A and B are shown apart, each in its own frame.
Chain A
Amino acid sequence: MRGLNHRQRAAAIVLAAVAFVFITLDVAGTGLSGAHSGARGLLGSLYRGTDAVVGPVRRFVAAVPDVGSDRSRIAALAAQNAHLRQQLAAGSADAATLGRLNRLQLAADATGRRIMPARVIAYGPGEGFDWTATIDAGSSDGVVAGQTVTDGDGLVGRILHADADTSVVLLAADPGSGVGVRDGRNGQLGVATGAGSAGFSLSPLDPRADLKVGDELQSGPAGQSTYVAGLPVGTITSVHVSADGTTVATVKPATSPTAIDVVGVILAAGVTGAPNTAISPEAAPR
């Protein structure tokens, strides 16, 4: 095994020093936000094109592990596969999810909000531990940072950045993020901290709150949370009471953070989209 020669050693040291400078600048929050935004915008555009090619392959492969679980499931998947192929050919979104979004839209109409449908086209380009996803709706569709994202079943996350045609969603399961929640059974408030693929860890505001396995949690309270209130967050699967009486619960998420496809961005009232038209109760399938 030969070592590095003089030029290679110098190049490695210089590039490592440059990397440290980048890290320092970015952690300090100065100077690199423009570079991040430019790279995200460029990659986001490329994601859209790439997803058009590899998206069907990904969805097919993602469905493979479920094949063989039971006959009815196989039959359902076969029917779903045929249906998906038909939809992919037409370039349309998943009708079942559109139906869920439509139901959510109807509910959202009561609060004067609208939903922009979008498809997840990519996750992080590096390692996959950013707990972010890129969707094919951006600021030109009325999406802005901070808006809540749902898949019709529950809370997915919130918009972190919105470029012209794509947006980055910070998944609620991100281990660094917290969601204000309300226990649907007794109204107790708490904070559900993301735990990656494990779901959430719930810390009630009242340390001695009465939490029970099976309790369903919703985002909230209204006006006090980053997220739109009333979206299902998950179900309590276990409750632990520590020696000092503090209660902590583990929560199974209402929607799997690693299995999202078609989602809806809950827009503020009065925002109109350009290329993608937000679902309206009249246009969407019943």
Chain B
Amino acid sequence: MTARRAVAALAAILTALLLQATLVAPLTLPVPVSLPAVLVAVVALAAGPGTAIPFGFVTGLVADLGSEHPAGALALCWLVLGVCCGLLADLVLAGRRAALVAGIGAAVSSAAAAVLLGILGASGDGTVAIVRDAVPAAVGDVVLALLVTPVVRGMLGSNSLRRPTDRHPAGRVPRSRPRVQAGPHG
């Protein structure tokens, strides 16, 4: 990972967390719509698991430390989200399909986080609330993913943030860009 990609990743994480706390959460409570989770899923689908694993973990850890629940819970959930969506990166072709997968993945991740925090005794949200909020959360996450996907793909496809080498087995670049679709080896 280049220094530019690391700085861009940190900036994206902080931006997502700040917008989540000051804009998304106040407008969507009590439905657990999560911009950071959507960002992790979108990055995973665009860049593959190699980028998504550390990205999901760090995003979750920063969110954990800034919250009241035990640190590590969201880090674990968003790490798994990054792995799962990263593995699906090869299958997702169109932008809307990517947004749909990212939104549903983020909603499933939120439900898993709620269950994990319930087990840890850090959240009083019961099973009924988790099930009741699942569909609205998925809808909200898909809407966010539709907004975030073009931004993330545009950033990852820019010359300054593109992966320095493309020999990585799971290395991925935006499929929507014709020059990338041709492939460096093609």
Contact = CB atoms under 8 A, between A and B. Distances in A.
A127 interface: yes
Contacts of B53: 8, 11-12, 15
Contacts of A3: 87
Interface size class of chain B, counting residues whose CB lies under 8 Å from the partner chain: 35 or more
Interface string A13-48: 001101111111111000010011011101100110
Given A4-B170, A258-B30, A23 B73 contact: yes
A46 B18 contact: yes
Contacts of B12: none
B147 to A, nearest CB: 14
B23 A58 contact: yes
Interface in B24-70: 24-34, 36-37, 49-50, 53-54, 57, 60-70
Given A16-B76, A62-B26, A127-B114, A22 B123 contact: no
Contacts of A176: 123-124
Given A12-B53, A127-B34, A23 B71 contact: yes
A258 B30 CA distance: 7
B125 interface: yes
A47 B24 CA distance: 13
A132 interface: yes
A100 to B, nearest CB: 20
Nearest to A121: B22
B27 to A, nearest CB: 6
B21 to A, nearest CB: 4
B19 A16 contact: no
A123 B79 contact: no
Contact of B33 (A38, A39, A128): A128
Interface residues of A, number: 64
B34 A126 contact: yes
A15 B22 contact: no
A26 B70 contact: yes
A286 interface: no
A54 B23 contact: yes
Contacts of A273: none
B146 interface: no
Contact of B124 (A18, A36, A196): A196
B120 interface: yes
Interface string B63-106: 11111111111111001100100011011000000000000000
A134 interface: yes
Contacts of A23: 70-73, 76, 120
12 contacts: A1-B91, A19-B61, A23-B72, A25-B71, A36-B66, A54-B19, A58-B22, A126-B66, A127-B32, A128-B28, A175-B124, A197-B30
9 nearest A-B residue pairs (beta carbon): A175-B124, A22-B72, A39-B65, A122-B21, A26-B70, A126-B63, A23-B72, A19-B76, A123-B25
Interface of B: 14, 17-34, 36-37, 49-50, 53-54, 57, 60-76, 79-80, 83, 87-88, 90-91, 110, 113-114, 117, 120, 123-126, 129, 169-170
Given A19-B57, A127-B114, 12 more contacts: A8-B170, A18-B75, A19-B75, A22-B61, A26-B71, A39-B65, A54-B22, A123-B26, A125-B20, A128-B29, A128-B33, A176-B124
